[in-house]
């Protein structure tokens, strides 16, 4: 009797200990449409960043990523669609390199980050001028 194997497995939190630091990853399997082989994915989705760990919202954020990934796995994530459900438009072999959230930053979010960095730069320049430093 032939065993029925699902093309993907649901995402789950995987926590590993590196010294005294916990490393969180979202672990899941997806079948590569080109090769037919199930591949393991363990993206961090930036869950280990200091500001996220200190805010105490890491588990909440991880659960939201798990829910999102589980919704997209039947549609072919990360090979055929990205984290936002859009077709990748790339060769399937390249999809594994693109599953990290850093490569999928929406334009509006990127502009907000750039604006914050620019405002910080202006504040540093203003402070440098008051201290008569030759910085800006």
pLDDT tens per residue across span 62-113: 999 999 999 999 988 888 887 777 777 654 444 444 444 445 556 666 666 6
Domain boundaries, the chain: 8-104, 105-136
Lowest mean pLDDT among 47-51, 72-76, 129-133: 129-133
SS (H, E, C) the chain: CCCCCCCEEEEEEEEEEECCEEEEEEEEEEECCCCCCEEEECCCCCCCCHHHHHHCCHHHHHHHHHHHHHHHHHHCCCCCECCCCCECCCCHHHHHHHCCHHHHCCHHHHHHHHHHHHHHHHHHHHHHHHCCCCCC
- In this predicted structure, the answer to whether residue 3 has a pLDDT above a threshold of 60 is no
Identify the residue with better confidence: 22 or 97.
22
Indicate the pTM of the whole model.
0.59
Question: How confident is the model at residue 13, as a pLDDT?
Answer: 93
- In this predicted structure, the answer to whether residue 38 has a pLDDT above a threshold of 70 is yes
Question: How confident is the model at residue 92, as a pLDDT?
Answer: 45
Question: How confident is the model at residue 5, as a pLDDT?
Answer: 57
Question: How confident is the model at residue 105, as a pLDDT?
Answer: 53
- In this predicted structure, the answer to whether residue 33 has a pLDDT above a threshold of 90 is no
The mean pLDDT value for 8-23 works out to 89
């Amino acid at each position: 009797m032939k065993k029925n194997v699902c093309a993907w497995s649901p995402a789950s939190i995987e926590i590993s200990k590196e010294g005294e630091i916990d490393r969180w990853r979202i672990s899941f399997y997806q079948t590569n449409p080109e090769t037919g082989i199930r591949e393991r994915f363990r993206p961090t989705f930036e869950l280990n960043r200091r500001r996220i760990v200190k805010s105490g919202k890491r588990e909440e954020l991880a659960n939201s990523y798990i829910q999102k990934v589980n919704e997209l796995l039947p549609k072919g994530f990360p090979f055929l669609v990205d984290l936002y459900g859009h077709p990748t438009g790339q060769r399937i072999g390249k999809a594994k390199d693109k599953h990290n959230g850093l490569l999928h930053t929406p334009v509006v979010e990127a502009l907000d980050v750039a604006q914050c960095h620019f405002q910080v730069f202006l504040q540093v320049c203003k402070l440098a001028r008051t201290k008569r430093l030759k910085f800006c």
